[in-house]
Structure 1
Amino acid sequence: MEHLTNQSIQTQFEQYLQSASDQDKEILSSILTNLQQKKDTSGSYLSALIKMETKSFANKQLEITIPINPIIHNSLDIVHGGITATLADSTMGTLVHRLLPEHQTAVTTNLSVQYIRPGKGSHLSCTASVTHQGKQLCVTEARVVDDRGKLVATANGTFMVIAKSK
């Protein structure tokens, strides 16, 4: 990757804005706002870009939501299936991480997503729970629903418990 300077980035922005539609500008503004907020958290760039927000964590269950906007649409103007899978994987993985001792974390070893209906509306919510928590593996399940409470997808995930890197 070439060395980027503030000037080269500013030039890119100016060139983009010259031909950008109003929707393009809204999306760019949203991306920049989310990236600015990312600077204050330890989350990933991806979770910042799609604005993942933890809503609740209780009774070994975790809920994360994302707003639905054009940046996560596929060419059919519905939520891209990979975004739905990412929401499920992130919710299950975050839950497992929160349940582990401080010196451990977990990584996905298996993810299975069953799509029920298109992701539409104002937001998607994913609720994850643990079905098995062992010393080496955690098995989870998740449900993704739209803003009307309609089931969009279900998912199952297996996570390998590992030591945190120092």
Structure 2
Amino acid sequence: MGSLQQDALRMLGEALVNNIPFNRHIGLKYQTVSEEECVITFDMKPELVGNYIQGILHGGVISSAMDMVGGTMAAVGILHRNPATHLDELKQKIAKLSTIDLRVDFLRPGRGETFYAKAELLRAGKKVAVVRAELVNENNTQIAVATGTFMVG
């Protein structure tokens, strides 16, 4: 992978995760993004509790993390289809990126101290990208899985 490609991937991860105020509010942090996978993390905090009796993660936070990591991976699909995309052109395309559909399956209660949302690209088309994502805790216990469809063109 060339230097331009690596710069573009890093820019994607930082821009889509770290620069969006809502993501900062809930504590999402960009970790890595590559052609194969994107990973973001966040720590449990009292503001993220959805079930105050059990003290577990709110389903909306889980969905937001899956949407963010999936959208970032969908943006990687733009690069995947055209590796020579310039950063300015990539920024214009990212501005049009949107979620069409996100299906989240909640498998276990959201217990943990640190959570990792991971996504992989299943298909990158001219207009639509399909992504598979999962959320695990620090013990690698799978909490949720998701499939997302994103508008990329």
In the superposition, the TM-score normalised over structure 1's length comes to 0.69
Structure 2 residue 22 is matched with structure 1 residue 46: yes
Does 62-71 or 100-109 show the bigger shift? 100-109
- Out of 81, 86, 97, the residue aligned to residue 59 of structure 2 is 81
Q: Mapping of 1:1-166 within 5 angstroms?
A: 43-74=19-50, 75-76=52-53, 77-100=55-78, 101=85, 102=90, 103-105=92-94, 106-162=97-153
Q: Is the 8 A contact 2:98 2:152 kept in 1?
A: yes
- What residue is the counterpart of 2:5 in the other structure? none
Q: Deviations over 1:94-148 (max 9, x none)?
A: 1222442413122000000000111111111011011000001000000100111
Asked which structure has the greater CA Rg, the reply is 1
Q: Measure the CA separation in 2 of the matches of 1:113 and 1:42.
A: 23
Q: Once the 2 structures are TM-superposed, how far is the Cα of residue 42 of structure 1 from its aligned partner?
A: 6.3
Q: Deviations over 1:139-158 (max 9, x none)?
A: 00001001110000000000
Q: Measure the CA separation in 1 of the matches of 2:141 and 2:61.
A: 17
Question: Percent identity between the aligned chains?
Answer: 25
Q: Which consecutive residues of structure 1, in runs of 5 or more, have no partner in the other structure?
A: 1-40
**RMSD of aligned C-alpha atoms?**
1.6
Amino acid at match of 2:130: V
Q: Once the 2 structures are TM-superposed, how far is the Cα of residue 60 of structure 1 from its aligned partner?
A: 2.7
Tell me the number of residue pairs that the alignment of Structure 1 and Structure 2 aligns: 122
Q: Which has the higher contact order (CA 8 A, sep 6+)?
A: 2
Q: Is the 8 A contact 2:35 2:76 kept in 1?
A: no
Q: Measure the CA separation in 2 of the matches of 1:59 and 1:160.
A: 18
Q: Once the 2 structures are TM-superposed, how far is the Cα of residue 50 of structure 1 from its aligned partner?
A: 1.4
In the superposition, the TM-score normalised over structure 2's length comes to 0.74
